[in-house]
Amino acid sequence: MYESYWRKLGDRCSMVISGNDLMSYFSNPGNLCWFLMPELDHAIRRLHGVVRNAIADDDRFIVVGTGSTQLFHALLYALSSPNEPEPISVVAAAPFYSSYPEETEFLRSGLYKWAGDAYSFNKDGPYIEVVTSPNNPDGAIRGAVVNRKGGKLIHDLAYYWPQYTPITGRANYDVMLFTFSKATGHAGSRIGWVIVKDKEIATKMVKFIELNSIGVSKESQLRAAKILGVISDDCLNSGPNKEENFFEYGQHLMSERWEKLREVVKRNGVFSLPKYSPDYCNFSGEYTDHNPAYAWLKSKEGLNSDNLLREHKIVTRGGTKFGVGSKYTRISMLSSDDEFNLLLERLSAIKVTTNGNY
Amino acid sequence: MYESYWRKLGDRCSMVISGNDLMSYFSNPGNLCWFLMPELDHAIRRLHGVVRNAIADDDRFIVVGTGSTQLFHALLYALSSPNEPEPISVVAAAPFYSSYPEETEFLRSGLYKWAGDAYSFNKDGPYIEVVTSPNNPDGAIRGAVVNRKGGKLIHDLAYYWPQYTPITGRANYDVMLFTFSKATGHAGSRIGWVIVKDKEIATKMVKFIELNSIGVSKESQLRAAKILGVISDDCLNSGPNKEENFFEYGQHLMSERWEKLREVVKRNGVFSLPKYSPDYCNFSGEYTDHNPAYAWLKSKEGLNSDNLLREHKIVTRGGTKFGVGSKYTRISMLSSDDEFNLLLERLSAIKVTTNGNY
């Protein structure tokens, strides 16, 4: 979706890598996260400072991963303990990111196990709650739900960037998860990072990544550093040559898409969408709308939304995968322009081409 | 170690990546391994064809990973089954790669468990045997040891390249593991690949990588494709401008290092080294020596070799980590020139600076 923006920037984001560059396993042997490139470390802390979406001061540890998915696994490992009598429960409030259950369960770890919807979790003892805010799939701004002793929180802030949501404050949680793919659109690079307060947790995460993949692609790290750096430069540029920075661009684009989608959804009358109120955004310096990365559609008549849309050649991810009913379904708002326009077209056609049963 | 070779090649191995390149999750949506870049797929198959070290014809599947470590995990997942009453045993003949036990055990998976030395494994039922050849740590050419019904084999061929060992035939195993880091020295890119015959195993491996990291860095894949391509070009170049290709260079360098090491070890009389006989190398077209990536030292007097060397400021990895006694220890032969020369110097000094007790 953001490709044309990056194309427009041309050489400013290009990088050249020679055959003899980046050969060693090590990026920064003296650092706790020895495989994190100093350039990326710097670019991440600087960008959070510029956007003011999270505290990433020097007393926090940054651990880089092969996308935020690898870091989610690293966190499960770091927040669990081999000395506990049973696996620690992992919960998230429904609707939750559809991959959390399978990612938690697929290796049948004795360290942690998926325990479902945080709203219905009532087991005593330690647990891990994943708090995704803005939430995937429904864009809601969220806090922890369980709030009991022994709870450990993972704050997944993948979508806490100005194009998706007003930046209302600098997040300051123990563990904050971010990903390059959602921040800038560079999903192919597989770069994610965690900002973590506790040294022991950071150390265990590094251990996980050593044992899982002995570090993270340096080519990707260097490229992410470059691109995040250009974004920060542009955000800080207040000179006469100031151009639209990446987040302004993204915000306009997402706003436009949401406006179009709401119009179509309203017109055909089959679905409803969540409502969000504008908030003051510290980054933009004005009230802005929530423009989530996904549209969370609900069938007004309680039909299976995923099936209904598939019949009209719209591929979505049904509500049951997110721990709720099939009347809900998730549509990506991050597709290419062509795909998004096709979505609008097909969505518009639902009412027109059907007689009462769509 | 190979850095100066790659520097010499200059721009031939350079690559430029623009800000709008490589943005999508997908590399080849129609392919079973949808995150494998076609350029890398092609470069891998071509290089194995040129070196003749493994059969990588089009009927084999290639799965790329974040280094061979991620692929080792993917293989444990792919070769195990959630329907078995107990975790499948994972074994390797001692001395075995020191990370296998911890990588297998650290998540306390219910799918697989480390069962130690293949030589002493006598449990009935299914098992996975890792066969590393040439072996890490001792450079031995190996075959499977257990050879019982229900056995599944992982052939780790990370060191089956001409600079380390004569290429005596095209390996044709069910599952063959390779890594960019040992083939060319580019450890920082974290690229490994598996050549696999069975579609179901390949499918499960892809599933693992989806759930573990949603694919593999495209920047690294593209760079690996470029570098492997240049190696193949040079190996195939028989023209008048023919220069030393990478494997010839590596073979000479490793040969030289081994000669120097053997001399020092012989002179000081404290340790012995494994003996290897030259073999006919199909790649070189002549008899060549084994020049393993690691030197496997044995203390002649049965002392703790790792401790002894540490006292002389030589950091090694002791035999117990490889499942054998402490009289053995492993030294890397892949260090930089400076480090290698320092190693020789310190190793030479052991005899000189000590009186009977080193």
| pLDDT tens for each residue of A69-109 | 999 999 999 999 999 999 999 999 999 999 999 999 999 99
B120 close contact with A: CB closer than 8 A:
no
Q: How high is the pLDDT of residue B240?
A: 84
- Asked if the Cβ–Cβ distance from B20 to A11 is below 8 Å, we say no
Q: What is the mean pLDDT of residues A247-266?
A: 97
- Partner residue facing A19 (CB), from B111, B218, B227: B227
Report the gap between the CA of A303 and the closest CA in chain B (Å).
30
A18 lies in a domain? Answer: no
Q: Is A123 helix (H, G, I), strand (E, B) or coil?
A: coil
Count how many Cα atoms sit within 13 Å of the Cα of residue A275 in the half-sphere of its side chain: 2
Question: Shortest CA distance to B283 belongs to which of B228, B240, B246?
Answer: B246
Check whether residue B232 and residue B257 sit in a common domain. no
Q: Is A14 on the interface with B (CB under 8 A)?
A: yes
Confidence of residue A337 (pLDDT cuts 50, 70, 90): very high
Same domain, A44 and A73: yes
Q: Tell me if A168 is assigned to some domain.
A: yes
A 66-95 residues with CB below 8 A of B?
A: 66-67, 69-70, 73, 77, 82
User: Which among B189, B210, B236 is the end of a domain?
Assistant: B236
Same domain for A141 and A52: yes
CA distances to A77, A106, B77, B110 from B81, rounded to whole Å, are 22, 11, 8, 10
Residue B352 binned pLDDT confidence (cut-offs 50, 70, 90): very low
For residue A132, being part of any structural domain is answered with yes
A59: in domain: yes
The shortest C-alpha distance from A352 to chain B (Å) reads: 33
> Is it the case that residue A238 has pLDDT exceeding 90?
no
B358 occurs within a structural domain: no
User: Which of B214, B236, B258 lies at the terminal end of a domain, its last residue?
Assistant: B236
Q: Which residue has 């040891």 as its token pair?
A: B145
Residues B185 and B262 in one domain: no
The residues, ordered by sequence, that sit 6+ positions from B326 with a Cβ below 8 Å of its Cβ are B304, B305, B306, B307, B318, B319, B320
Q: Are residues A251 and A205 part of one domain?
A: no
Q: How many domains does chain A have?
A: 2
Q: Evaluate if residue A358 carries a pLDDT over 60.
A: no
Q: Which of B13, B72, B213, B246 to mutate to test the interface with A (most CBs of A within 10 A)?
A: B213
8 Å CB contact of A190 and B213:
yes
A143 sits in the region (left: phi over 0; alpha: psi -120 to 50; else beta) called beta
Same-domain status, A259 and A226? no
Range of the domain at B327: 248-352
Report how far residue B63's alpha carbon sits from residue B235's, in angstroms, rounded to the nearest whole number: 25
Q: How far is A73 from chain B (nearest CA, A)?
A: 7
Q: Do B189 and A99 touch (CB under 8 A)?
A: no
Among A13, A212, A214, whose Cβ lies nearest the Cβ of B19?
A13
Counting Cα atoms < 13 Å in the Cβ hemisphere of A167 gives 24
Q: Cα torsion at A271, A274, A280, A284 (round to 10°)? A: -50
Q: Are residues B177 and B198 in the same domain?
A: yes
| Local structure of B324: helix, strand or coil | coil
| Chain B residues within an 8 Å CB radius of A208 | 106
Residue B126 has pLDDT above 70, yes or no: yes
Cβ burial B125-151 (10 Å sphere, 16+ → b, else e): ebbbbbbbbbbbbbbbebebbbeeeeb
Tokens 């560079």 sit at which residue? A186
Chain B CB contacts of A65 below 8 Å: 213
For chain B positions 217-236, those within 8 Å of chain A (CB to CB) are 217-220, 223, 227, 230
Q: What is the pLDDT of residue A39?
A: 98
Mutate to test the interface with B, among A28, A77, A90, A214 (most CBs of B within 10 A): A214
Tens digit of each residue's pLDDT (9 = 90 or more) over A107-118: 999 999 999 999
Query: Would you say residue A243 has pLDDT above 90?
Result: no
Q: Which DSSP category does A188 fall into?
A: G
pLDDT tens, residue by residue, A151-200:
999 999 999 999 999 999 999 999 999 999 999 999 999 999 999 999 99
Q: How far is the C-alpha of A69 from the C-alpha of A192, rounded, in Å?
A: 8
Q: Which of A134-143, B16-25, B39-48, B233-242 has the lowest mean pLDDT?
A: B233-242
A24–B188: do the CB atoms touch at under 8 Å? yes
The residue whose two tokens read 């490889």 is B322
In a domain, A16, yes or no: no
**pLDDT score of A134:** 98
Query: Is a pLDDT exceeding 60 seen at residue A33?
Result: yes
Do A227 and A257 lie in a common domain?
A: no
The answer to whether residue B357 sits within a structural domain is no
Task: Chain A: give the shortest CA distance to residue B72, in Å.
Answer: 9
User: Are A28 and A125 contained in the same domain?
Assistant: yes
Q: Which of A7, A102, A213 sits opposite B211 (nearest CB)?
A: A102
H helices present in chain A, as ranges = 3-9, 38-51, 67-79, 99-105, 180-184, 199-213, 218-236, 246-268, 305-311, 337-352
Residue B92 has a pLDDT of 98
Question: Is residue A358 in some structural domain?
Answer: no
Q: Mark yes or no for CB contact B14/A13 under 8 Å.
A: no
User: CA-to-CA distance for B179 and B57, rounded, in angstroms?
Assistant: 18
**Interface membership of B28 toward A (CB under 8 Å):** no
Radius of gyration of chain B (CA): 21
Name the residue in chain B with its Cα closest to that of A226. B19
* Cβ-contact B317, B203 below 8 angstroms: no
Q: Does residue B178 surpass a pLDDT of 50?
A: yes
Q: What is the CATH number of the domain that holds A55?
A: 3.40.640.10
CB distance from B249 to chain A under 8 Å? no
pLDDT computed for residue B277 by the predictor:
96
Same domain, A186 and A219: yes
Last residue of a domain, one of B187, B213, B236: B236
As a whole number, the mean pLDDT across chain B is: 96
Question: Which residues of chain A make contact with B191, given a CB cutoff of 8 A?
Answer: 217
Kindly tell me if the per-residue pLDDT of A218 is higher than 50. Answer: yes
Residue B258 pLDDT: 98
B285 and B194 together in one domain: no
B222 & B272 share domain: no
Distance from CA of B22 to the nearest CA of A (A): 6
Q: State the smallest CA–CA distance between residue B86 and chain A in angstroms.
A: 11
Query: Which residue is it, tokens 């069938």?
Result: A299
The enclosing H or E element of A116 equals: strand A112-117
Q: What is the CATH number of the domain that holds A263?
A: 3.90.1150.10
Contact B19 A103 (CB under 8 A): no
Q: State mean pLDDT over A237-253.
A: 92
At A352, the pLDDT band (50, 70, 90 cuts) reads: very low
Across the interface, which of A111, A217, A219 has its CB nearest the CB of B108?
Answer: A111
Q: What is the pLDDT of chain A when averaged over all its residues?
A: 96
* pLDDT of B149 strictly over 70: yes
Contact (CB, 8 A) for B246 and B255:
no
State the pLDDT at residue A357.
Answer: 58
Q: How far apart are CA B351 and CA B349, in angstroms?
A: 6
